Structure 1
């Protein structure tokens, strides 16, 4: 499905990002993986025969360096960007009036500004490929309004809004921009989530039960194909039917 396509995945060291990387590799993509966790990121890249570039999505200079390295690795043409890198762990369970300002700012720096800057830095490479695709990893918490998670919900709501605007700006260059919005997945980053919330999701899905990262990878892979341009601007709640749009 992705043979011959160069794909950059951020936040690819562990959890959902690593699962995305494994799935895209299985579909034939040539991968450049990026993460702030260099040891885990390099291990994931070695296992897949992929390139690895460290990145701190809170630092504009680090993002620019990643785009430069990805361009060299991809021969100047990038066919896909998966904006998966985000702050998600350790920020839930706090009411909106109890969130620390520094915590709020960190989430916005990485999840919102980082997604914008990463897309901006990669845009010339995506345009050069003639069939560039951006897939933003959002969250269905921004669709149904999960409580006691406001900074994360707000950041993923911004990612959804940016997806629609970027689709219109990049569409004339035949660069498609979409988002997927998973629910709670069974990954190490969600171990802190109360069992009641996990149960709420498992029981409330149209297809009951937990959801694993592997279950959303094929959707992401399709959105990165040359044939997915007609879906640009769309947000797909890949959550086994917990919410519908």
Structure 2
């Protein structure tokens, strides 16, 4: 999608590695002016340098850190057309059952995945609205659509992100901002090396188009959702998972 994001400034959170890095690479190829944010500063700066992007450290568990990030973008870039809320915590696929989850672990996932997504959107909202064609893409998960077991905190957090997307679409739509959610399944990358082999097999044999998926497989959809022409899809959830789950 060469040139699809030409002249548009895009912020990608959790961009240091994995899915976020692949999204950032696709946005760069599409011509976006990129800001990458992550708590992993060394990796984030290396990724940004390779894409001629700017890096800003952010901790989604810290509201002050999020506010500083938004102020930094307002000072340096001056505008913002796209936000990809990718940063999140996964508690471990095949982890403890619902009655063995530690409260601290549950709270940490909700703090980052749900509250963090809201706070980043809130902090960047004025710039997105001012752009006249702002776009927000929230990374959900198809685990929230089929109720993946032994992953309850993560599944609940991504279900909240899906619901949040719909409310935000109605609140921000009158100001020209489109808000969508993308729900991938398990992707093959360094962040999922720990996933039990049987869970990978479940996905890779259960997809309508069988086989593994990588972060690069979902990135083009996200690039499109960041374009001015994607406003008609606002509020929608796209399960980009090769047909493992249909909606």
TM interval, short-chain normalised = over 0.9
Distance in 1, Cα, partners of 2:73 & 2:93: 31
1:206 aligned residue (191, 205, 208):
208
Alignment of 1:1-245 (within 5 A): 1-75=4-78, 77-88=79-90, 90=92, 92-245=94-247
Which runs of 5 or more structure 2 residues have no equivalent in the other structure?
none
Answer yes or no: is the 8 Å Cα contact 2:93–2:150 preserved in 1: no
Answer yes or no: is the 8 Å Cα contact 2:91–2:151 preserved in 1: no
Answer yes or no: is the 8 Å Cα contact 2:92–2:151 preserved in 1: no
Cα RMSD for the two superposed structures: 0.8
Distance 1:54-1:91 versus aligned 2 partners, 3 A rule = farther
Which runs of 5 or more structure 1 residues have no equivalent in the other structure?
none
Answer yes or no: is the 8 Å Cα contact 2:169–2:178 preserved in 1: yes
> TM-score of the superposition, structure 2-length normalised?
0.97
Distance in 1, Cα, partners of 2:200 & 2:140: 18
Deviation per CA, 1:221-245: give whole Å up to 9, x if none.
0000001000000000000000000
Distance in 2, Cα, partners of 1:125 & 1:24: 19
Determine helix, strand or coil for the equivalent of 2:245: coil
Structure 1 runs, 4 residues or longer, greater than 6 Å off: none
Answer yes or no: is the 8 Å Cα contact 1:51–1:73 preserved in 2: no
Shift of 1:92: 4.5
Answer yes or no: is the 8 Å Cα contact 2:133–2:176 preserved in 1: yes
Shift of 1:71: 1.5
Distance in 2, Cα, partners of 1:42 & 1:89: 25
Answer yes or no: is the 8 Å Cα contact 2:91–2:153 preserved in 1: no
Answer yes or no: is the 8 Å Cα contact 1:82–1:136 preserved in 2: yes
Deviation per CA, 1:25-71: give whole Å up to 9, x if none.
00000000000000000000000000100000000000001111112
Distance in 2, Cα, partners of 1:72 & 1:196: 48
> TM-score of the superposition, structure 1-length normalised?
0.98
Answer yes or no: is the 8 Å Cα contact 2:91–2:109 preserved in 1: no
